[in-house]
Structure 1
Amino acid sequence: MIDLTNISELIVFILVFCRLTSFIMYVPAFFPSGTPQRFKIGLSLVLTFIFVPLINITNLTVNNSATFVVLIGKEILIGLALGFITTLCFSAAQMAGQLLDFHVSFSMSSLYDPISNETVSILGRVFYWMCLIVFLLIDGHHIVINCLVESFQLVNIDGLALKPELATYMIQVVIEFFTIGLKMAIPIVLIIIITDFTLGLVARVMPQLNIMMLGMPIKILVGLACFTLSLPVFMKMIVNNFDTVLEAIKGLFNIMPCIFVFFASEGGEKTEEATPKKKSDAKKKGQVAKSKELTSALGLLVITLVISILGGYIVNSLKQTLTMFLRDYSTISIDNDSLRGIFITSFIRIAIVFLPVAVPIAIMGILANVAQSGKILTTEPLKPKLEKINPISGFKRMFSLKAVVDLIKNLIIIIIIAYVGYKFILSNYEQVLNFGGFRVEAILTSLGELIVDILSKVTLVMIIIGIIDFVYQKYQFNKDLKMTKQEVKEEFKQQEGDPVVKGKIKQKQREMSMKRMMQTIPDATVVITNPTHIAVALKYEENTKSAPKLIAKGQDNIAIKIKEIAKENNVPIIENKPLARLIYNEVELDTEIPYEMYQTVAEILAIVYKLNKKTKS
């Protein structure tokens, strides 16, 4: 028993009802155009009450209204797809009949079918009814109900990922049924073509015969005879046609795996601001924040200025051009030279009128786009992409939040401009009525003033709307560019490398640096210690003017290692806690000691040289 007071069961009921209703509404073979809509909806409700207990959905949860709308849209899409494939079976048979009508000379005898609300040919309608009779004889209604039940088992109502292959598959299904229709008609069509060829030979041999009058009844007779003899073959092909319907529906289910990823939660919540790299990549693709309304408003501003400033010039130029052609070219003789002169003159006169208007508008359009998005030179938007013609992607774009916002924005613009126009007409209504008593020149002048006035008001409104829209587009663009934390990590990995690998590389570099440092200790002049925690090794070359250089330093275990190597290579080890600590903290490897340490280091070097002299003596 269905408990419609339970929110989860109510949602399931609504989704099942949407799929069944869209299927029933789409298939005219079962429910002709005269079928009352109440009956269709009632049948959908009855089937929904039957199907819902068969659907094992216990934990369906809908977090927000956007998710629910997407689920409803998905169910309607599935129902339409099932209805489309089912209708193709009858359409293939009807197409075969219409193709035969064309060759049998019945195409002129078309009739209006009130059931399907379309004009069909005779054999096309015969094939259609044959297909419907065969459908009932093989219990096709049972097959359809079984397919609907299987659709809920294979494509759950709580999940669906529409793959890009779906559009390709639907095209393949259409091609398959088109091929079936051709196969049904081709045998008789070939016979009719052979008959035409034979009649052509007869006309060639006996030209006195009126083959046109004789050929039509012969082709009708041959066509009907072949149709009658081929009825068993047609019946078999129609049965196979319904088998193709089952295969197409099962293939449709295979192309729709039961995993639905909502756009609201795709890839996690985008909370991180876009990185400079992502902004740069978006700009390279031509994706920038830009308001079409602001560009249009600035273009309208230029038009207003051009009309107000150059309006008189444009009218005078047109008047002079019209006068010149009516006066100077009405009696001219037409030849090649005169035509060339007329063409050149016309081109110049058009340029004189057109360029002062078109050039400022084009320049403002370019400047408006550059001011909003900067200098961009890319061919990325011009590249053909399959997503642009993918009906699934198009469906998502049609029902996206951006489409809703654009719709609301366009409605607001229309309402505001309509109101401005209404107020303008209301305030200038009496002046326009008095135009009948004006001279032609005065009418043109007053009309120009009215045009400039209405353009000024509309331009002001459009500029305000454009600025607001640009701010919104900037906000929406930055919001769309936001990234999830995972995307930021992935981008960091691509730019900087994997942190784990990078850490291992740094560790390897430290080991190699340590190894090189240890290899320089035997060349040291003296090792100064803390004495236990710190050890630094200095190298001083007497024959050079450079100061002593720090070639190794370390603390704890490294200090012990430095002292061990120094002992093995007879390098003097001197204990001086303050100096060892100072050198370790202040001096970098492979750099000379600073001036402040010269005195202390010199004293230690003097001790070292004395020890070396005693050792040698």
Structure 2
Amino acid sequence: MIESVNLQELLIFILVFTRLTSFIFYVPLFFPSGVPQRYKVVLSLLLTFIMVPIIGKTAPEVNNNLYFIVLICKEISIGLLLGFITTIVFQIVQMAGQFLDFQVSFSMSAVFDPLSNETATILGRFFYMLCMIVFILIDGHHLVIASLAESFNLVGIGALSFKPEIFTYMVHVIIEFFYIGFKMAVPIIFIIIITDFTLGLVARVMPQLNIMMLGIPIKIMLGLLTVSLSVPVLMKMIINNLDQMSQAIKGLLDVLPCVLVFFASEGGEKTEDATPKKKSDARKKGQVAKSKEFTSAIGLLGVTAVAMFFLEGVLNGLKEILIMFFSQYTNMELTLNNVSEIVKIVIIKMLIIFLPVALPIMVMGVIANIAQVGKMFTKEPLKPKFEKINPIKGLKNMFSIKAIIDLLKNIIIIIIIGYVGYKFIESNYYRILNFTNLRFVAMTYALGDLIVDILKKVSLVMIVIGIADYGYQKYKFKKDLRMTKQEVKEEFKQQEGDPIVKGKRRQKQREMAMRRMMQDIPDATVVITNPTHIAIALKYEENSGVAPKVIGKGADNIAIKIKEIAKNNDIPIIENKPLARLIYKEVDLGLEIPYNMYQAVAEILAVVYKMKK
């Protein structure tokens, strides 16, 4: 027995080691070319020692050497397939760089790379290293090791079956990956093509110019500059493409369960509106629909109102301070007491001038926030969170759809406000030129009038933009809060409890109530029947001043059980169909009969007492 167990464990160890070794030897990510093979073997052994206790699988029975060789081949195939899926992620990124090398004229400067033991172009190798950096930053090596462990759960040891669909689908996956790599290089390729087209036009206009000798350095410079500026975008594209690859790999699960989706998104599609609890939790965290543009528009409206009513007062106040300083304090002796007095006067004067300006603007900002989110006090946004300084998350936020929409929105706002400013200057151009004919004081007031006018126009435009943006933010917030059906079920379970558990609990309570009811039947005074389908057990105590009480009732099998207990305890059984049905329908267990049934029940009790006498 001990020898059998030891052989089983040894067989599992060998097969797991085979799968992991074939994967590690195939993937150059862990150990580049030139690293001694023993390090790969040692890593495989370490991973095997870690995974064997976790897997807990039973090995298939091996009756002969040929079957053992087949098992080894299957495990090698699974490891190679996993290695191929992992390696192709990096190869397509390198391929995108090689496409660019061809356009930038770097393809002729290919060099031998001793790490990968192959010839690689400059940008191809750069893209490969960039992909590796991103892969490590998102802990891709952890995901790969976790996926290797999970592969033993999806495809047990020796459970691989070779199907034609596997090879057909792998061809489809390769085509998909090729398309992704080409898509990564297309934007920069288009820039180079446009450059070539422009150089062609130059050559057409100036035939004497050696456009080939001029074009090569221009394309090299433009290509390097474009790639340098596109590094953040390329990193985002690599992350997105790794996410998109999960869709291509996911279909492989239908034909080969061992292929894992390394970068699959969690959960299902969010189609359900957010529940009140989720909305409340989001509000507690400070997550509400809020438009910065709307707040800015209301604040700008406050600035406009202040400029209309307080601008002249502010200018007069500043003028008085200047006159006071130049007339009273220029010849004053600078002592500690005098300086303190001057500072005190300046602070008081400034507060008198600017508080009427600042307070309305602050109030308008508060009103704008309350109008959007209502009264809300939360400390959650102030708490330090380490994910806020996560560089990968920062890159994702920087190049997310939300960031692009915000960028487009800001560009549109700048264009609109710029257009309003342009039209305003155009319409007041000659008026501004005539400012040279005004005195300085008049010029100041005229400039104030112009500022108020342009603030009115811009405020009106910003309010329209703010209202539109607030509507969009509400829609976006509602969409972001949507839940999957599974999330709704889980929340319902947390609030109401598991329906299955609740059903079992109610069933248990009914059974306990039924047992108590059957125990009370022997104390009944009379049992009223349908006669076959319904039985009602009534208890009445003479001279108690209390109406008869229903201590038991039931239909079908329960009614039969009540009648059996009544017969065994010599309790009278009276047939009265209308009364039995009425009590069964109207009176709950443990309650007294209502007033309208007194007459019918009294007649039955009279019969019972006559029978007893």
- TM-score (normalizing by structure 2): 0.62
Distance of aligned partners of 1:517 and 1:450 in 2 relative to their CA distance in 1, 3 Å threshold: same
What residue number does 2:536 align with?
Answer: 536
Is the 8 Å Cα contact of residues 17 and 48 (structure 1) preserved in structure 2?
A: no
What residue number does 2:585 align with?
Answer: 585
For each residue in 1:357-397, what CA deviation from the matched residue of structure 2 results, as whole angstroms up to 9, or x when unmatched?
Answer: 11111111112111111222111112222221222222222
Is the 8 Å Cα contact of residues 397 and 403 (structure 1) preserved in structure 2?
A: yes
Distance of aligned partners of 1:552 and 1:482 in 2 relative to their CA distance in 1, 3 Å threshold: same
Distance 2:369 2:383 in 1: 21
Is the 8 Å Cα contact of residues 550 and 591 (structure 1) preserved in structure 2?
A: yes
What residue number does 1:515 align with?
Answer: 515
For each residue in 1:528-570, what CA deviation from the matched residue of structure 2 results, as whole angstroms up to 9, or x when unmatched?
Answer: 1111111111222333333222221110111111112222333
For each residue in 1:440-498, what CA deviation from the matched residue of structure 2 results, as whole angstroms up to 9, or x when unmatched?
Answer: 12111111110000000000000000000000110111111111111111111111122
Distance 1:593 1:325 in 2: 98
Distance 2:472 2:175 in 1: 30
Is the 8 Å Cα contact of residues 15 and 72 (structure 1) preserved in structure 2?
A: no
Distance 2:552 2:482 in 1: 48
Distance 2:329 2:535 in 1: 107
Distance of aligned partners of 1:438 and 1:15 in 2 relative to their CA distance in 1, 3 Å threshold: farther
Distance 2:374 2:108 in 1: 55
Is the 8 Å Cα contact of residues 16 and 157 (structure 1) preserved in structure 2?
A: no
Question: Are residue 39 (structure 1) and residue 115 (structure 2) matched?
Answer: no
Q: What SS class does the counterpart of residue 455 from structure 1 fall into? A: helix
What residue number does 2:438 align with?
Answer: 438
For each residue in 1:154-184, what CA deviation from the matched residue of structure 2 results, as whole angstroms up to 9, or x when unmatched?
Answer: x999359xxxxxxxxxxxxxxxxxxxxxxxx
Q: Which residue identity does 1:58 align to in structure 2?
A: V
What residue number does 2:280 align with?
Answer: 280
Is the 8 Å Cα contact of residues 294 and 463 (structure 1) preserved in structure 2?
A: yes
What residue number does 1:60 align with?
Answer: 173
For each residue in 1:102-158, what CA deviation from the matched residue of structure 2 results, as whole angstroms up to 9, or x when unmatched?
Answer: xxxxxxxxxxxxxxx9xxxxxxxxxxxxxxxxxxxxxxxxxxxxxxxxx9xxx9993
Question: Are residue 568 (structure 1) and residue 568 (structure 2) matched?
Answer: yes
Q: Which residue identity does 2:597 align to in structure 1?
A: M
Distance 1:41 1:375 in 2: 66
Compute the displacement of 1:347 (Å).
Answer: 1.0
Distance 1:489 1:14 in 2: 36
Compute the displacement of 1:57 (Å).
Answer: 4.6
Distance of aligned partners of 1:411 and 1:574 in 2 relative to their CA distance in 1, 3 Å threshold: same
Q: How does 1:195-274 map to 2 (within 5 A)?
A: 259-261=261-263, 266-274=266-274
Compute the displacement of 1:19 (Å).
Answer: 3.5
Question: Are residue 326 (structure 1) and residue 302 (structure 2) matched?
Answer: no
Distance 1:70 1:603 in 2: 95
Q: How does 1:383-462 map to 2 (within 5 A)?
A: 383-462=383-462
Worse-superposed segment, 291-300 or 559-568: 559-568
Q: What SS class does the counterpart of residue 352 from structure 2 fall into? A: helix
Is the 8 Å Cα contact of residues 97 and 123 (structure 2) preserved in structure 1?
A: no
Is the 8 Å Cα contact of residues 17 and 45 (structure 1) preserved in structure 2?
A: no
Distance of aligned partners of 1:554 and 1:483 in 2 relative to their CA distance in 1, 3 Å threshold: same
Q: How does 1:104-143 map to 2 (within 5 A)?
A: none
Q: Which residue identity does 1:601 align to in structure 2?
A: V
Distance 2:176 2:540 in 1: 75
Distance 1:46 1:438 in 2: 66
Taking every aligned residue pair, what percent have the same amino acid on both sides? 58
What residue number does 1:121 align with?
Answer: none
Is the 8 Å Cα contact of residues 246 and 262 (structure 2) preserved in structure 1?
A: yes
Worse-superposed segment, 405-414 or 427-436: 405-414
Distance 1:397 1:70 in 2: 25
What is the RMSD computed on CA atoms of the aligned residues? 3.6
- The alignment covers a number of residue pairs equal to 412
Distance 2:244 2:94 in 1: 9
What residue number does 1:307 align with?
Answer: 307
Compute the displacement of 1:338 (Å).
Answer: 1.4
Distance of aligned partners of 1:41 and 1:492 in 2 relative to their CA distance in 1, 3 Å threshold: farther
Is the 8 Å Cα contact of residues 528 and 537 (structure 2) preserved in structure 1?
A: yes
Distance 1:468 1:156 in 2: 33
Distance of aligned partners of 1:468 and 1:539 in 2 relative to their CA distance in 1, 3 Å threshold: same
Q: Which residue identity does 2:325 align to in structure 1?
A: F
Q: Which residue identity does 2:173 align to in structure 1?
A: L
Distance of aligned partners of 1:70 and 1:606 in 2 relative to their CA distance in 1, 3 Å threshold: farther
For each residue in 1:224-260, what CA deviation from the matched residue of structure 2 results, as whole angstroms up to 9, or x when unmatched?
Answer: xxxxxxxxxxxxxxxxxxxxxxxxxxxxxxxxx9634
Is the 8 Å Cα contact of residues 271 and 482 (structure 2) preserved in structure 1?
A: yes
Is the 8 Å Cα contact of residues 98 and 124 (structure 2) preserved in structure 1?
A: no
Distance of aligned partners of 1:321 and 1:541 in 2 relative to their CA distance in 1, 3 Å threshold: farther
Question: Are residue 158 (structure 1) and residue 245 (structure 2) matched?
Answer: yes
Distance 2:565 2:271 in 1: 55
Q: Any stretches of 5+ residues in structure 1 without a counterpart?
A: 1-11, 26-30, 77-116, 118-150, 161-256
Q: Which residue identity does 1:498 align to in structure 2?
A: D
